[in-house]
Chains A and B, each alone.
Chain A
Amino acid sequence: MSIVKLSNNGVKNATAFGSITGLGSMIFIKKLTASSSATLSFVDGSDGVVLDDTYKEYVFTFNNMHPATNTANFTFNLSTDSGSNYNVTKTTTWFQAYHKEDDSGAGLGYETGQDLAQSTAFQVINYGLGTDNDENCSGTLQLFSPSSSVFVKHFIATTNNSEASGYSVNGFMAGYGNTTSAVDAVRFQMSSGNIDAGDICLYGIA
């Protein structure tokens, strides 16, 4: 049996491995970089942004989201009118695992203060972000079938946050936009103040 040596490019461009064919792809769509920005928005249909039925699943990656205001929450909302309004009705759940740097507190629990019940408000992705230079929040948000005219729009976020008072907070948020209209834009912002720095990338899952 011969040994096949794969380079990174070979793996990246693979369409099949042995008998496994039709490998999927994670397609980069757009990167937005915050620079004292109040909001970061991805709107379908311009500047190379795709958020329609091209892909059945989209993934947003959050890299070192840093707030301008201490203890602000990192939040998001959906739009069905190309970003004119971010006010889709949502029902969500939120739980966390947390551990303090000095080991004085740790736990796992549901957070009733972070969830929504049929609310159009911005949804908390992670909370209490610190403004120390090294503090930030990173993670991902998956959004499924945003342009479906039949189904509600499910989303799942997993993030970790170096919280303002010294906790590592692993946040698990999930829920759905309770609409059968196509979601064609997503906005991210802090609950107060600007997004000082950080970047968000959008990918389509083919």
Chain B
Amino acid sequence: MARHHNINGNIVPFTEAEEAEWDANEKAYAEAQANIEPTPVYISQRKSAYPSIGDQLDMLWHSIDQNPKLKSEYFEFYESIKAVKVKHPKNG
């Protein structure tokens, strides 16, 4: 079926060139859609279930805090966060 524009309420049939251009566009679109692999459901399920990035980093810091070897290995990360905690204590 021939395509048309609706311009200000007036129906304007496509030219042959426009028909050819849209045929090619729709063919390319259909091919692209056929090649899309569906995103596995677990990705969105995990994304919404993970703790926030801040909470994850806090858990990481506390794990390092319990282990002198890790404190040394991740010295800069550990100390920079510890400095903030010291400057702004919980009961400060």
Contacts and interface: CB of A to CB of B under 8 A. Distances in A.
Nearest to B28: A192
B5 A41 contact: yes
A141 interface: no
Interface residues of B, number: 22
Given A41-B6, A83-B7, A104 B44 contact: yes
Nearest to B11: A37
A105 B44 contact: yes
Contacts, number: 61
A34 B6 contact: yes
Interface residues of A, number: 30
Interface in A24-54: 30, 32-43, 46-49
B6 A105 contact: no
A114 to B, nearest CB: 16
B48 A41 contact: no
A42 B10 CA distance: 10
B6 A193 contact: no
Given A37-B4, A192-B25, A104 B41 contact: yes
B45 interface: yes
B48 A106 contact: yes
A163 B82 CA distance: 46
Contact of B1 (A34, A36, A83): A36
A56 interface: no
23 contacts: A30-B9, A32-B8, A34-B6, A37-B5, A37-B6, A37-B11, A40-B6, A41-B8, A42-B8, A43-B7, A46-B8, A47-B8, A83-B7, A104-B44, A104-B48, A105-B47, A106-B48, A107-B47, A107-B48, A191-B29, A192-B29, A193-B26, A193-B29
